[in-house]
Chains A and B, each alone.
Chain A
Amino acid sequence: MSTFLVEIVTPERKVYAETANMVSVTGVEGELGILPNHIPLVTPLRIAPVTIKRNGKVDIVAVNGGFIEVRKDKIVILAESAELATDINVERAEAAKQRAQQRLAAKRDEVDYRRAELALQRAMNRLNTKQK
């Protein structure tokens, strides 16, 4: 089976670097399943889990937006933050989720609302990733 290198990079560090067989991500235009030798592509990502398959194993990474760069033999995902399922702190994510929900319920100005929405998405993303 052909493979390619998958890297997930955040401003703080390189979160993930493995050879894999397949990657599935959620781009702004919809879900993408990427196999080796894909045509070079760049697209922004939604806040969603990224699934990476390698040698029958499956890694799930919570990726907070960012974008993906696909090359024939290499994939790079750049995001402001990203966590492996094992690194996710469930309690923190739960707390963040509740905080965001409270703020959404309070409905203040637009900026706050937008920020709370994003925070909620991030928290949900982490929880989803953990549960998979």
Chain B
Amino acid sequence: MAKGMRDIKREIKSKQNTKQITKAMEMVAASRLRKAQEAAQAARPYAEKLKEVVASIASGTKDVKHPMLETRPVKKTGYLVITSDRGLAGGYNANILRKVTQTIREKHKSSDDYVLFVIGRKGRDYFRRRNMPIVEEVTGLPDAPTFADIKSVAYSAVKKFSEGAYDELYLYYNEFVNAITQVPTALRLLPLEEVGGKASVTSYEYEPSPEGVLEVLLPKYAETLIYSAVLDGKASEFGARMTAMGSATKNASKIINQLTLTYNRARQAAITQEISEIVAGANAQS
């Protein structure tokens, strides 16, 4: 028996193990993806309702003034980046981190001009290794994050803007299109864009006053936008992982096929050789 055969056999075995793992991960990601999508769906009514009310106040009352609606000259920028805790999700983290780093490199000369809020261990490690200024970080988010999980980071990101720590806030996350497509997206969160949109038909009474209501609503609205981005990011993460693991499984199958072919060839060669040896031996005796 050729020694090569045993090696090939061992290699096949190891590829089979890998395939099993990637297959399992693919299926886990698929089931979580469904849940994450449902969560993103369930969060929509809240965000839409909030937007509707904010829009109706903004359009109903003239010259509403609120620090979160005012554009200031930009001296410092805040970035909120949403990444995942774990890898093995294809280009999920790499894409978004590249986008952020590129923008930062183009727009800022020194690291005093911007601050970072990071969600997810991958992003945190990345920025930390490069000594970029991280103000706040959240890691270990569960697969189905609740509003309370991200409340503190959302709250402080919005609050620091109102306090003037920076003059604009960008949100970087992977927008979920479908299970195989996720688009790295940059969204300017603050100051809030003209929320306007459709002017609502009903004119409301506000208690205590339109400004008073806006005071409460706008931070909530911004926080909700962050929350929906996190949910979208989660769905994207599972989508990306599912696709990545799917193709890993496919590759493993391909390698196993190739190896099996080589193995069979080697086996046949060994048998042929054995036969010819026996025949040669028999011929020599007669």
Task: Enumerate chain A interface residues (CB-CB to B < 8 A).
Answer: 9-14, 27-29, 39-44, 66-67, 69, 71, 76, 78, 80-81
Contacts and interface: CB of A to CB of B under 8 A. Distances in A.
Contact of B148 (A28, A71, A78, A81): A81
Contacts of A9: 45-46, 49
A67 B147 contact: no
Interface residues of B, number: 29
B205 interface: yes
Q: Which one of A9, A12, A41 has the greatest number of beta carbons of chain B within 10 Å?
A: A12
B207 interface: yes
A103 to B, nearest CB: 15
A11 B48 CA distance: 10
Nearest to B224: A11
A12 B204 contact: no
Contacts of B228: 11
Contacts of B212: 28, 44
Interface in B220-258: 220, 224, 227-228
A110 to B, nearest CB: 13
15 contacts: A11-B46, A11-B47, A11-B227, A12-B42, A12-B43, A13-B42, A14-B42, A28-B208, A39-B205, A40-B205, A41-B204, A42-B57, A43-B207, A44-B213, A71-B202
Contacts of B224: 11
A28 B207 CA distance: 8
B151 A42 contact: no
B178 interface: no
B63 to A, nearest CB: 19
Interface in B43-93: 43, 45-47, 49-50, 53, 57
Given A12-B147, A42-B53, A69-B49, A29 B207 contact: yes
B206 A42 contact: yes
Contacts of B43: 11-12
A41 B205 contact: yes
Given A12-B42, A40-B202, A42-B53, A29 B147 contact: no
